[in-house]
Amino acid sequence: MQSTTILYLIVAAAVLMGIRLLSSPRYAWTGNVLGAVAILAAIILVTAQQQLLTTASVLIALAIGSVVGGALAIQVKMIQMPQLVALLNGCGGAASGLIALSEAFGPNGVTATLGTFAVTGLAVSVGAFTFSGSMVAAGKLHGVFNERAVILPRHSWLAIAIGAVVVVYWALGAALQLNGIVLYTIVLLLLALAYGVVVTIRIGGADMPVVITFLNAASGVAASLCGFVTDNALLVACGAMVGASGVLLSHKMCKAMNRSLKAVFLSFEAAPAETAGSGAVCGGSRVVEEKADALGLSVGLLQGAKDVIIVPGYGMAVSQAQFKVWELAQALEARGARVRFAIHPVAGRMPGHMNVLLAEAGVPYEKLFEMDAINDDFKASDVGLIVGACDVVNPAAIDVPGTPISGMPILKAFESKNVVICKRTRKPGYSGVENPLFYDDRAIFLPGDAAGTLETLIDGLHERKESTGG
């Protein structure tokens, strides 16, 4: 027993260390491997210690899981990573809920006590909510469902009502041991599944980073509760660590958006109000005259720049332009320029979305800077190059009150001496707030697919280098 406890502590410490390493781009890969090995060790340790399965059954299950996981890892493209993360969160919640449900159907369910009712019901509820919510999130991210918020009549009241029914039925059902634990858990399962759909379907694409981190936390909580149901301390500890890290990351994402978790899940999709004379009118209806030879001007600015800060956004992910971004950065560095990448915490559709894409392209982690670390450097930069970003660089967040992004911390690309913007159109981002930077006299707007625009800029730099002999 003592040796088992020591092994449990070692595995839990390895999981915790893996999570810690994931916070650093330099050691993220190591943390991922350490976490995977620790979980594998936990599976083998628990099944061996509790004699749940035969050795052959364990090996078959591990082989099936490895094949499915490997196939997903090979087939899924980096741009599809957010929906894969949502899918895996859902699988974690489903596994925890099913294990708790199996306990209710097993021998322990026949002699269930108040504590068994309560913990089993809670594990099933959280697991089911995580599963259905994650499936909706994955569907939205993959384009199966409408990515924008779907608002039902009296949606907030509907969500509150279903949530209240789940809590009341869970509490009363456990206290009174209504209808036996089997029916009790099945009812909770159905209610929680419905609650997950109702809550998540109203979340739009721009809020997905928060939703994914929240559902990640929920999957950890479900696993921890499942550990209580099965009387397994290791599962309780590992689930609690995942849940805690997910909660902290959700808080960080909300802070980066200047929104509360309640506002993300319960507020209606905001309809931003026009602000007279602000230059940040919603809707993007201005008529503008494009600068003559905008591409040539942009090439000239980049050619003479000594300090360039690149701001990637969701548009870079959509156009798969990360490889061209890095190629352009290398071309600028070859001319003696200093090039850095400014990463906003909620750029993209999951935490670290831009980091993952740029890492895929081969960008060294030393060139990636978080918002707080680089925001003060924009003033001294020669060119701020925006690639597919909108809301995260929108000055209206600072200057215009009463919009969905008012007060949200942004990357201050507008402070650069010159701004070059590669974006398909000037249309507002998900928030619906028009970006005045796109009309600024110091900014050059290059409409069209970001990957194609960047390739043209690269060709222009090479041509000027050849024509000048250097």
Which residues are annotated as catalytic? 391
**CA trace torsion 298, 410, 140, 317 (10° rounding):** 30
DSSP 132: H
3-state secondary structure string across 25-79: CCCHHHHHHHHHHHHHHHHHHHHHHHCCCCHHHHHHHHHHHHHHHHHHHHHCCHH
Measuring CA to CA, how many Å separate 79 from each of 76, 195, 339, 353, 429?
A: 8, 28, 24, 9, 18
Rounded Cα distance, 312 and 331, in Å: 17
Closest CA to 129 of 211, 72, 206: 211
Rounded Cα distance, 341 and 435, in Å: 21
Q: What angle do CA 425, 426, 427 make, to 5 degrees?
A: 90
Residue 379's CB is within 10 A of a number of other CB atoms, namely 10
> To which residue do tokens 């456990």 refer?
174
Question: Around 320, how many Cα atoms within 13 Å sit in the side-chain half-sphere?
Answer: 5
Rounded Cα distance, 10 and 240, in Å: 16
Closest CA to 128 of 198, 202, 190: 190
- Which amino acid appears at position 302 of this protein? L
Rounded Cα distance, 170 and 167, in Å: 5
